[in-house]
Amino acid sequence: MVIDELKNVYLFKHLPEEKLKKLEEISKIKNYERGQVLFFEGEKPENLYILLEGKIRVYKTTFKGIEININQFGPVSLIGEYANFEKVPYPATAEFIVEGTALVINYKKFEENFLKDAEVLFSLVKSLTNKIRMLNRFIESTVVLSAEARIAKLLLESKEIFEILKHYQIASFLNITPETLSRVLSRLKKNKIIAVSGREIKILDPEKLNKISKDEMLI
Amino acid sequence: MVIDELKNVYLFKHLPEEKLKKLEEISKIKNYERGQVLFFEGEKPENLYILLEGKIRVYKTTFKGIEININQFGPVSLIGEYANFEKVPYPATAEFIVEGTALVINYKKFEENFLKDAEVLFSLVKSLTNKIRMLNRFIESTVVLSAEARIAKLLLESKEIFEILKHYQIASFLNITPETLSRVLSRLKKNKIIAVSGREIKILDPEKLNKISKDEMLI
DNA sequence: ATATTTTTTTGATTTAAATCAATGATATTT
DNA sequence: AAATATCATTGATTTAAATCAAAAAAATAT
């Protein structure tokens, strides 16, 4: 039942039963395969989405066709609220990278029925500040930090990812080329800041790595 | 009177008199000189600001000391709401580039008294989506577009600015060096896409300039 | 186990923009 | 008007990272 799912979504937790019923009327649950797109950059928004399962990658495309990863979302996330609220085209593309399900809400009807509710608004504020944090992090890593610092940061924050993803996937996630990733890793190895055995990475010199991650030090 | 100013701020327009009184209690109006800083990047937030007069530049600083301009704000703008709401350090520095005044609101008290009001929340949502638009525009121009495209875009959108600001100020605004600005302008001149007489710029070939502004064409 | 495909690494080259340095123009002050 | 300071342009060099190309290593299929 849609309604049972809705109760688990923070945005709607507090809503009384009749409001939930209304919400159910204006939304539906949809399944998405890996690679399927929730919405494209530039598209006119009609629906609000709540990611219930799976994983979504949000990216922008340059004229040259390069995809710039902005963020990834896991469940439960509100997606598309900015474009809908502002009535502007989606600023980026949202694509499932792990198959999942989403609640698809007709925004126009949502606006009419729910946008006067202080608690829904509060949740919306939370979701929007979350987007701001995400954009901020993106700017910090892409504009403020060098490729080297970004790699160091990833190593400090979640080096397990190197055991899960292929290098070319990590590179894409960091918006760098696999060649650059490879070169930086081998420089880190040569300088005994990390050690690599198979897929596993060991951090030998966390202080230096930390400095590199802040662009306070070059290798 | 502070209260009269408050009535002119969209965020508070709808508030009843007694609420405005309360707001007056928890806030004060302050004047700022050109160059004065409202808050620094990394600082713990305590106040919410509403820019009533003047102009503010928001920028991030890299480790190398390069200042990256994110946005500029004119009156009336709500500033600092994200950091306060999320209780995270200010993500950027806000500096007056034109002297002005700001309403300084104690956020803790604001939260207690106003954050349950649906209309205030709605305005907050509006302000936050505005920030998202601004960050988006920043990403679009800095990460997605080349220096050349950014200059072309500025020429199309507000070439008057070349009559007001010095080239090094425009360059700083675009996060490029004056040398790059100079070189791109002279290339545009050489290709008869623009003509420059004194401080004034005339656009001779808007179509080409438009293509350049989207990185669809190189010069 | 060998062959094939995919991924990673290495090396050489290119690129866009910054930096460095010097010169040329414009403003401002004296 | 001359002197000085500020700003803009030009040329040469550097830089970080991308690109191109090929080899090496690892994973997968036969």
Q: Which of A202-206, B24-28, B146-150 has the lowest mean pLDDT?
A: B24-28
pLDDT tens figures, A182-192: 999 999 999 99
pLDDT at position A65: 79
What whole-number percentage of chain A has pLDDT above 70? 100
Phi, then psi, of B72 in degrees rounded to 5: -125, 145
Question: Average of pLDDT values for B197-215?
Answer: 93
Which of the nucleotides in strand C have any atom less than 7 Å away from a protein CB atom?
A: 7-12, 16-21, 27
Residue with CA nearest to D17's C1' atom: A180
Q: Compute the nearest-CA separation of B199 from chain A (Å).
A: 31
pLDDT of A1 over the 70 cut: no
Could you tell me if A125 lies within 8 Å of chain B, comparing CB atoms? yes
Instruction: Give B122 CA → C4 C1' in Å.
Output: 60
Rounded Cα–Cα distance for residues B176 and B172 (Å): 6
Q: What is the pLDDT of residue A90?
A: 96
- CB proximity under 8 Å: A 15-54 to B: none
Per-residue burial over B12-43, b if 16 or more Cβ lie within 10 Å, else e, is beebeeebbebbbebbebeebeeebebbebee
Per-residue pLDDT tens for B57-85? 999 988 777 889 999 999 989 999 999 99
pLDDT digits (tens, 9 = 90+) for A90-116: 999 999 999 999 999 999 999 999 998
DSSP element (H, E) containing A66: none
The answer to whether the CB atoms of A133 and B214 lie below 8 A apart is no
pTM of the model: 0.89
Closest by Cα among B14, B118, B30 to A123: B118
CB contact under 8 A, B129 and A60: no
Question: What per-residue confidence (pLDDT) applies to B66?
Answer: 83
pLDDT of residue B1: 67
Is A41:A92 a contact under the CB 8 Å cutoff? Answer: yes
Which single residue has its CA nearest the C1' atom of nucleotide D9?
B182
Q: At B148, is the pLDDT very low, low, confident or very high (cuts 50, 70, 90)? A: very high
